[in-house]
Chain A
Amino acid sequence: MKIDLQMAWRNVWRNPRRTWLTVAAIAFACLILVFMLSFQLGSYATMIDSSVKIEAGHLQVQAKGYHADHEMRQVVRDPAAVDRVLDGIPQVEAYTSRATALAVISSDQRTYAGQVVGVDPVQEAKVSSLESLVRQGSFVSADDPEGALVGDLLANNLKVKLGDELTVIGQGRDGSVAATVLTVRGIFSSGIDELDRTTIEMPLANFQQVFSMGDAVHEVVVVGKDLWGVPAIQRQLTARLAGPGGGDQSPPLVVLSWNELMPGLLQSIKVDLVSGLIFYVALIFVVAFSILNTFLMAFLERTREFGVMMAIGTPPGRLGRLLLLESLALTGVGIGAGIVLGCAVTLYFQAHGIDLSGADELLAHFGISGRMYPRLSVVSALAGPLLVLIITGLAALYPALKIRRLKPVEAMRHV
C-alpha cells in the first residue's frame, strides 16, 4: 500500500503545471463555496437576530392564550420568579419584561389608536435593538417616567416632535380607565411599518402604575447567547417553570420561541437556502467537467505504461486503485487549499464585515445595518468541499473503471 501511495503522489506531480491548474480549479470552487455558504448562513443568523431583536426576542414567557388574545388580564403575575429561573439558565444572555395595552393616543392636532408598551429602560436595551434605531432624541429612561419613545410614522401622523405632549387613554388590567400624559422624548424608525405606525414606549414602572398592573407584566422577553442555543433554553425554561420555582402562575405560563412568534421568518430563510443550493450544485458540475480532462489525460496518455504494468503482473484492480489514489490526492490538495483559503477569506470578512451600502433600504426593511458578516462554522467550511469531493470523486471513478477493460497487448502498442 505504501508504495502505491508513493507512486500516486509522484504521478500527480509528473506534470506540475497541469496539476496546479487542476488544483486551482478545485480550490477556487471550494473557496467560493465556503465563503458563500458562510455568508448565507451568517446572513440568516443576522437576519433572524435582527428581526427578533427588534421586538420578539429569541423566546418569550407569556400567559397561556396571550399570544392569541392579547387581553390585558392575561398577565405574567410573578415576573420576579421567572427572572430567577432565567438567572439559572447559562445559555441566557439577557432578559427583560414588557407590558402592552391598546390605547387612544392623542396629540394637539390628531388622535390615533395605537399600542403602548411599557419597557424596562435598563434591561430593554440589552434585549432589543430598538435603542439603536432611535433617530431623534433618546430612549426611555428610568429618570423620566413620563417620557415616551414614539414610532416615526406615528409621530408623523400625530404631527408631534420632540417635547410635544401626548395623551394616552386606555383600559387598565382591572378594566378601569387608564390615562396619562407623556412627553415625546425620542422618535425611532425600525423599518417595520406596523411598529413605526402604532407603537409608543414608556418606562415599565409608570406603565404598571397607570394601567393598574401591580407587579405583573405581559411578556418576559429572553435573548440567548446565540440562535443555536434557543431550543435548549426553551426546554429548560419550560421544565423549571412547571416546577416549584415557577412562582405564582395564574394564568399558567408558556414559553414561545421566535419561530412560533414570527412564523414567516424561518420559511423565508428556507427559500433563500434552497435557491443558493441550486447555484452551488451548478458550479460544482461546471468544475467537475472542467477537471475531468485532467483525470482522463492521466489515464489516456499513460496507456502504454499501464499496458506494461499489467503485462508484468499488476492486477487491473490495483491499477484502478492507483489511479483513484492519484485523483483523490489531487482533489485532496485542491480541497485542502480551498478550505484554508476559504476560511481565511471568510474570517477576514467576519471580522471586518462586508459593506453592502447599495442595499441600504432593503436591509433597513429587515432591520439590519449596512454591514453583513459571514459566519464560519463547521457546516459552512466543510459542506461545500464535501460535495466537491463527492462529485469530483465520481468524475475520477470513470477513468479508474476504464482501466479494468484495458488489454495489455493493445495498450502497450498505444502511441
Chain B
Amino acid sequence: MFSGLTETGRRAAVYVRIGWRNLWRNRRRTAVILTAIVLGVWSMLLLGALMRGLAQEMVDNGIRTLTGHVQIHAAGYRSDPVAAHAITDPDAVTATVRRVLGGAPWEARWIERVRVPVVLNTARHTGGATLVGIDPEREPELSFIGPKAIADGRFLRPGEKDAIVVGRALLDEMESELGHTLVISAQDRHGTVVSRAFRVVGVYRAELEATEKRYVFVPRQAAASWLAMDGAVSEIAIELADYDQADAAAARLRRALGSEAAQAEGPGSSGKAALEVESWRQLLPVERAVFDLYVGFIQLWYVVVFIAMGFGVVNTILMAVFERMREFGLLKALGMRPGAIVGEVLIEAVFLLLLGTAVGNLLGWASVAALSVHGIDLSAMAAGMEMWGLSRVVYPVLSRQDLVLANAVVLLLGLVVSVYPAIKAARFTPVEAMRRI
C-alpha cells in the first residue's frame, strides 16, 4: 500500500497508523476528552453564532430601517431635517452615483425620499412622527417597508394622493384605526405650515416598536406636491453589494460630488460641500459600537473555552504518555530519536483535536442550521429586548471568520499545549522507564 512512497513517507505513514491506534487504546479516556473538545467547539460555534446573530440583526435592522449603506443629504439636513433642506437636483446626484458606484464591485442601488418631521392629529390625540415619502414600487427592495411588512390593510400604490401607512404601535397610541384619517401638519419647503388629511390604508409592523411609532409612509409624489418640493428630495439612500464597502463608497462619492460642485460653481467657488455623504457607520453609532463589542466578546469566549478545554487535553495526553512510559523507554533504547517520539505524541494529539473539532463543527453547524429556521423566540422578554435595541427573535449567524478562528484556536493552540507532554515523553530514559511497572 505504501510502496509508492519514499522512505520518509513510509515511516511517516507508519507513525500515523500507530498514532491513530494509540488513541484508541484507552477508549473511555479518549471518549471523555473528545467529549470535552466536542462540547467546547460546539459551544464556541453555537453561542458565538448567536451573539453574532444578535449583533448582525441590530446592524441589519438599523440599515433596513431606511438607513441603507450610504446616505446623501443637503448640508444642514441632519441637524435640522426640514423640507427646506433639500437636494435640489436629485437627478444630477443620482447620475453621479451611477457613474461612481454603478458597476462592480459596488453594484449600487439607490432610492430617493422626502422625509420631514410632522405633527399628527386625531380627535383625541396629538403626536409627533417622521413622514417618509417613498416610491412604493422601489422602496421595498431596499428597506423593511413594503407589502411584506403590512399586517393589516394594504401597501401604498404609486400616484395615490392621500394614502398613508402607519405603524401598529403608533396607531394604537393615537387610538386610531385602519380606514381612519389622520390630519398631518408639516412645514413645506417655503416654511409655511400646511395640513392635510391622510387615510390609513395599511398598518405595518416593524422589528422594534420604536420604529413603528416613528415612521409614517406616503407616496413620494403625494408628499412632494403637498410640501411644494418642486422636484427636490430630502435624501438619497444607497445600498451596496456588502455593508463593509460603505465607508469606501461614501468617500468616493464625497469626492466626486465635491469636485462636481466645485466645477459647477466655477472659479472662486467656496469649496464648501453642499451635500453630505455618510455611511451607516456614521449614521448608526450605537449599533456600530454594540457590533464591535459583541465581536470582541466572541473572541474572548473562544479563548476562555479553549483554556477550560486545554487543561483537560494536556492532562489526558499526559496520562496517556505516563501510562506508556515503559514503551517510550523501550523505543528510546531501541534507537528511536527523541524528535520522533515527540512527533509520535503530537500525531496522537492532532488526531484527537481533529476528531473533536470535526464532530464539534458538525454539531455546531447542525444546531445553527436547525435554529436558523425559526430562530429563538424571545417575545416573552420583548420589553427588555426593545430596550437593548434588539429584535424579539434571534437567529444564529455562523460567519466564515468565526469558523476559521474557532478551529484555529483549538487546533493550533491545542497542538501548542500538547508539546509539553510530548517533550516529557521524549525525555524518559530507558533505565527509569524499565524500572517502573
Cross-chain contact A267 with B387 (CB below 8 angstroms): yes
Cross-chain contact A271 with B378 (CB below 8 angstroms): yes
Within the complex, what minimum Cβ distance (angstroms) separates A57 from chain B? 19
Within the complex, what minimum Cβ distance (angstroms) separates B417 from chain A? 10
Query: Chain A residues with Cβ under 8 A from B47's Cβ?
Result: 278-279, 282
In the complex the two chains form, what is the Cα distance from A264 to B386 in whole Å?
A: 8
In-complex Cβ contact of A267 among B32, B36, B286, B383 (8 A): B383
In-complex Cβ contact of B388 among A17, A271, A282 (8 A): A271
In-complex Cβ contact of B311 among A21, A266, A282 (8 A): A21
Query: Chain B residues with Cβ under 8 A from A21's Cβ?
Result: 311, 314-315, 318
In the complex the two chains form, what is the Cα distance from A271 to B379 in whole Å?
A: 11
| Binary per-residue interface labels of chain B (308-320) against chain A in the complex, 1 for a CB within 8 Å, 0 otherwise | 1101111110110
Query: Chain B residues with Cβ under 8 A from A28's Cβ?
Result: 307-308, 311
Chain B CB within 8 A of A294 CB: yes
Query: Chain A residues with Cβ under 8 A from B318's Cβ?
Result: 17-18, 21
Query: Chain B residues with Cβ under 8 A from A17's Cβ?
Result: 318
Query: Chain A residues with Cβ under 8 A from B18's Cβ?
Result: none
Given contacts A22-B311, A296-B28, A362-B289, contact A269 B79 (CB under 8 A): no
Within the complex, what minimum Cβ distance (angstroms) separates B84 from chain A? 13
A residues 321-364 touching B (CB-CB < 8 Å): 356, 358-362
Cross-chain contact B293 with A359 (CB below 8 angstroms): yes
Cross-chain contact B386 with A290 (CB below 8 angstroms): no
| Binary per-residue interface labels of chain B (35-46) against chain A in the complex, 1 for a CB within 8 Å, 0 otherwise | 110011001000
Query: Chain A residues with Cβ under 8 A from B137's Cβ?
Result: none
Chain B CB within 8 A of A101 CB: no
**Chain B, residue nearest A360 (CB):** B289
Chain A CB within 8 A of B159 CB: no
A residues 270-323 touching B (CB-CB < 8 Å): 270-272, 274, 278-279, 282-283, 285-287, 289-294, 296-297, 300-301
Query: Chain B residues with Cβ under 8 A from A270's Cβ?
Result: 381, 384
Cross-chain contact B383 with A290 (CB below 8 angstroms): no
In the complex the two chains form, what is the Cα distance from A314 to B386 in whole Å?
A: 62
Given contacts A24-B311, A286-B40, A293-B29, contact A268 B384 (CB under 8 A): yes
Within the complex, what minimum Cβ distance (angstroms) separates B341 from chain A? 19
- How big is chain B's contact interface, by range? 35 or more
In the complex the two chains form, what is the Cα distance from A103 to B411 in whole Å?
A: 66
Query: Chain B residues with Cβ under 8 A from A411's Cβ?
Result: none
Query: Chain B residues with Cβ under 8 A from A264's Cβ?
Result: 383-384, 386-387
Cross-chain contact A286 with B311 (CB below 8 angstroms): no
Chain B CB within 8 A of A156 CB: yes
Cross-chain contact A291 with B319 (CB below 8 angstroms): no
Cross-chain contact B296 with A290 (CB below 8 angstroms): no
**Chain A, residue nearest B424 (CB):** A17
Cross-chain contact B312 with A289 (CB below 8 angstroms): yes
In the complex the two chains form, what is the Cα distance from A358 to B314 in whole Å?
A: 35
A residues 244-265 touching B (CB-CB < 8 Å): 263-265
In the complex the two chains form, what is the Cα distance from A28 to B306 in whole Å?
A: 11
Cross-chain contact B33 with A18 (CB below 8 angstroms): no
Chain A CB within 8 A of B305 CB: yes
Query: Chain A residues with Cβ under 8 A from B313's Cβ?
Result: 290
| Binary per-residue interface labels of chain B (297-332) against chain A in the complex, 1 for a CB within 8 Å, 0 otherwise | 000010011011101111110110001000000000
**Chain A, residue nearest B389 (CB):** A365
Chain B CB within 8 A of A25 CB: yes
Within the complex, what minimum Cβ distance (angstroms) separates B278 from chain A? 15
Cross-chain contact A32 with B315 (CB below 8 angstroms): no
Chain A CB within 8 A of B385 CB: yes
In the complex the two chains form, what is the Cα distance from A285 to B32 in whole Å?
A: 12
Query: Chain B residues with Cβ under 8 A from A267's Cβ?
Result: 381, 383-384, 387
Given contacts A268-B384, A282-B43, A359-B289, contact A293 B315 (CB under 8 A): yes
Most B-side CB within 10 Å, residue of A32, A266, A267: A267
Chain B CB within 8 A of A11 CB: no
Most A-side CB within 10 Å, residue of B304, B308, B309, B319: B308
Cross-chain contact B311 with A290 (CB below 8 angstroms): yes
Query: Chain B residues with Cβ under 8 A from A297's Cβ?
Result: 29, 319
Chain A CB within 8 A of B285 CB: yes
**Chain B, residue nearest A285 (CB):** B39
A residues 351-392 touching B (CB-CB < 8 Å): 356, 358-362, 365
Chain B CB within 8 A of A157 CB: yes
In-complex Cβ contact of A22 among B29, B309, B315, B381 (8 A): B315
Chain A CB within 8 A of B292 CB: yes
Given contacts A264-B384, A283-B304, contact A18 B315 (CB under 8 A): yes
In the complex the two chains form, what is the Cα distance from A356 to B316 in whole Å?
A: 38
11 additional contacts, CB 8 Å, given A268-B388, A290-B313, A293-B33? Answer: A24-B311, A25-B308, A29-B308, A267-B384, A271-B390, A279-B301, A300-B28, A358-B296, A360-B289, A361-B285, A361-B288
A residues apposed to B, CB below 8 Å: 17-18, 21-22, 24-25, 28-29, 32, 156-157, 263-272, 274, 278-279, 282-283, 285-287, 289-294, 296-297, 300-301, 356, 358-362, 365
3 closest cross-chain pairs (CB), A and B: A290-B312, A267-B384, A25-B311
B residues apposed to A, CB below 8 Å: 28-29, 32-33, 35-36, 39-40, 43, 47, 79-80, 285-286, 288-290, 292-293, 296, 301, 304-305, 307-309, 311-316, 318-319, 323, 378, 381, 383-388, 390
Q: List 11 A-B contacts (CB under 8 A).
A: A22-B311, A156-B79, A267-B387, A287-B312, A289-B36, A293-B32, A293-B312, A293-B319, A358-B296, A359-B289, A362-B293
